[in-house]
Amino acid sequence: MEYIRAIRNKEKLEGTCYFEFYLGKFNGDFWNNKSLFIHEFGFQNIQNVFIKHTYNFDEYGITTIHQNEWKKIIIDLQDILSKIENTQNYNELSKIIHIQEYYKEYYSDNFEEIKKLIYLMIKEFIIWSKENMKNYSMLSILGI
């Protein structure tokens, strides 16, 4: 499932249904070279973490996350990573991440692949965040 991944190189994007994680306060420059991109299909699995830690999360607009919120998001995502690592089946995974009703059968039938892809997507977001938190005090999420 090629849509469950974090992408650093905007040239690898297919279509426009991506959340863009823009470093700093958004200045109007979409599809930035320093941004990280996550397709809406993959992001829906972890979106609740962002909603929990941000004020007025807007999946279709711009959401600004200050560093203290960003750190809380990373802590929760690290917790999700450790739980995913230990999941043995779809039922366990479905208690950790959000899975839309429409995709439940697909996730269940492809549990091992989905588990790996979600794990890698989250891990990449955490790595990218830690690399950039040193130089940026905020993050802007540009919705789809």
- Residue 60 maps to a domain: yes
| 102 or 142, which is more confident | 142
Structure-block tokens of residue 123: 């891990």
- Residue 65 maps to a domain: yes
- Residue 117 maps to a domain: yes
Between CA 70 and CA 48 the distance in angstroms is 14
Structure-block tokens of residue 74: 């990373």
Sequence-distant (≥ 6) Cβ neighbours of residue 121 within 8 angstroms: 4, 5, 6, 38, 42, 45, 46
User: Which pLDDT value is given to residue 144?
Assistant: 92
- Check pLDDT > 80 for residue 116: yes
Print the domain residue range for 51.
Answer: 6-142
Structure-block tokens of residue 40: 């809406």
Task: Provide the pLDDT confidence category of residue 2 given band limits of 50, 70 and 90.
Answer: confident
Domain count of the fold of the chain: 1
- Residue 54 maps to a domain: yes
User: Which pLDDT value is given to residue 55?
Assistant: 84
Please compute the mean of the pLDDT values over residues 90-106 and round it to a whole number: 93
Between CA 122 and CA 42 the distance in angstroms is 10
pTM, two decimals, is 0.94
Strands (E), the chain: 6-7, 18-23, 36-39, 62-66, 138-142
- Residue 99 maps to a domain: yes
Task: Provide the pLDDT confidence category of residue 15 given band limits of 50, 70 and 90.
Answer: confident
- Residue 1 maps to a domain: no
